[in-house]
């Protein structure tokens, strides 16, 4: 695979995009389709709860907005590469190639519908390229500014810290390609556009990692087993960065109720009720999002204003307000309160003196997971 030629074509299209857009082949919109009961490779390597919520939202016609800038940048880069491949290879290139495969796991069929970013089919071989766009990676060898293209040795991530999940994703893609194209040579690559930090410099580059080994069948079966049985995030950061949690469709991974806190019967009931509450909150969120689409303004329902209702709020010039209150013979402290977000900062600045100006009170309140 000639990646030098590909990177030059990507750069050319990026520079000339406004002028040549009408000359380029039109790529299909990125709508990934799955067979009934099938899961994608990315889903297989991520929290299974996300896959379940995604399907519920799709059935309800709800689409979450893309808010992260890096996701938008990655989408632009992905399309530039696809346009470049279409320009260079024509009909040999297929974007978002569907790799459907049924794997028998413990007597049951696990349907996998992998979507390969870039697929090229030649007479004697097939080529798969998985595209990624990351904010920052580190090079353990270079000291000067990185070149436009770095091609790593096959399967070697020791020089540049490429995400292992990306590497594993390509290994699974290779396994599927070998099963689907048994009479052709298979080449698979991870292609990453990134800001690369060397010892003294920082610069954008494209990193190519040839992946020449696939997952074993047993490794893939174990991933499928985990997906079925371990309904929780696969990485510690996954829950914190989850869009479904941010938008209220998931309350996050629930910890098991400790046995010593509740009897066994009550523990099971509490766990069941918390799970049911979580489902209802997610359903309520879906209903609210559908209502937001249907109600364009403010309406009256049962004597109450609902919909897009205007609410007035004010911000104050606190030093000036303090002077006005003092001029009226009033104490500003009677009208102001310490911001909760600033308490830690005040404690750090005042140290033990803080105890001379505050009084501790302990109150119990009932808390449930959000």
Inside any domain, residue 300:
no
Domain count of the fold of the chain: 1
Nearest to 167, CA basis, from 179, 178, 176, 154: 154
Domain contains 130: yes
**Cα distances (angstroms) measured from residue 89 to each of 84, 98, 118, 135, 139:** 9, 19, 11, 29, 32
Whether residue 341 lies inside any domain: the answer is no
The percentage of the chain sitting over the pLDDT mark of 90, rounded to a whole number, equals 33
Q: Are 218 and 102 in contact (CB under 8 A)?
A: no
pTM for the structure as a whole: 0.66
User: Which segments of 122-184 are extended strands (E)?
Assistant: 125-138, 149-151
Please indicate, yes or no, if residue 56 is contained in any of the structural domains.
yes
Residue 92 burial class via C-beta count within 10 angstroms: exposed 0-12, middle 13-18, buried 19 and up: middle
Q: Structural domain of residue 200, as residue ranges?
A: 28-240
How much is the average pLDDT of 9-15? 87
The answer to whether residue 268 sits within a structural domain is no
The string of pLDDT tens digits covering residues 345-358 is 888 888 888 788 78
Q: Indicate the pLDDT class of residue 313, thresholds 50, 70 and 90.
A: confident
Residue 222 domain-assigned (yes or no): yes
In a domain, 343, yes or no: no
Specify if 13 maps to a domain.
no
Specify the pLDDT at position 214: 95
Check which CATH number belongs to the domain holding 143 and give it. Answer: 3.90.320.10
pLDDT tens sequence across 355-366: 887 888 887 776
Q: In 3-state terms, what secondary structure has residue 255? A: coil
């Amino acid at each position: 695979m000639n990646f030098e030629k590909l990177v030059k074509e990507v750069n050319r299209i990026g520079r000339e995009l406004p002028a040549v857009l009408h000359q380029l082949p039109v790529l299909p919109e990125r709508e990934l389709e799955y067979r009934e009961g099938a899961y994608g490779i990315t889903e297989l390597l991520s929290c299974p709860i996300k896959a379940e919520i995604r399907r519920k939202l799709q059935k309800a016609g709800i689409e979450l907005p893309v808010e992260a800038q890096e996701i938008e940048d990655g989408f632009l880069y992905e399309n530039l590469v696809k346009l470049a491949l279409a320009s260079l290879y024509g009909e040999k290139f297929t974007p978002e190639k569907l790799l459907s495969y049924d794997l028998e796991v413990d007597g049951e069929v696990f349907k996998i519908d992998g979507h390969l970013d870039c697929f090229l089919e030649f007479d004697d071989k097939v080529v798969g390229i998985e595209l990624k766009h990351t904010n920052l990676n580190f090079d353990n060898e270079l000291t000067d500014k990185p070149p436009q293209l770095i091609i790593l040795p096959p399967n070697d991530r020791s020089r540049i810290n490429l995400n292992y999940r990306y590497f594993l994703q390509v290994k699974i893609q290779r396994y599927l390609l070998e099963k689907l194209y048994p009479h052709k040579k298979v080449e698979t690559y991870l292609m990453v556009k990134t800001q690369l930090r060397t010892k003294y410099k920082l610069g954008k580059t494209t990193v190519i990692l040839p992946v020449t080994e696939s997952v074993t069948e047993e490794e893939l079966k174990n991933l499928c087993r985990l997906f079925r049985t371990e309904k929780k995030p696969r990485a510690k950061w996954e829950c914190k960065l989850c869009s479904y949690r941010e938008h209220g469709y998931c309350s996050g991974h629930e910890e098991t109720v400790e046995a010593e806190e509740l009897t066994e019967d009550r523990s099971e009931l509490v766990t069941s009720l918390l799970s049911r509450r979580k489902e209802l909150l997610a359903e309520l969120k879906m209903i609210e999002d559908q209502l937001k689409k249907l109600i364009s303004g403010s309406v009256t329902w049962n004597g109450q204003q609902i919909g897009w209702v205007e609410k007035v709020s004010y911000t104050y010039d606190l030093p000036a307000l303090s002077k006005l209150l003092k001029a009226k013979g009033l104490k500003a402290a009677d009208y102001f309160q310490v911001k909760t977000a600033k308490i830690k900062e005040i404690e750090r600045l005042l140290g033990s003196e803080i105890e001379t100006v505050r009084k501790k009170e302990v109150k119990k309140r009932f808390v449930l997971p959000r």
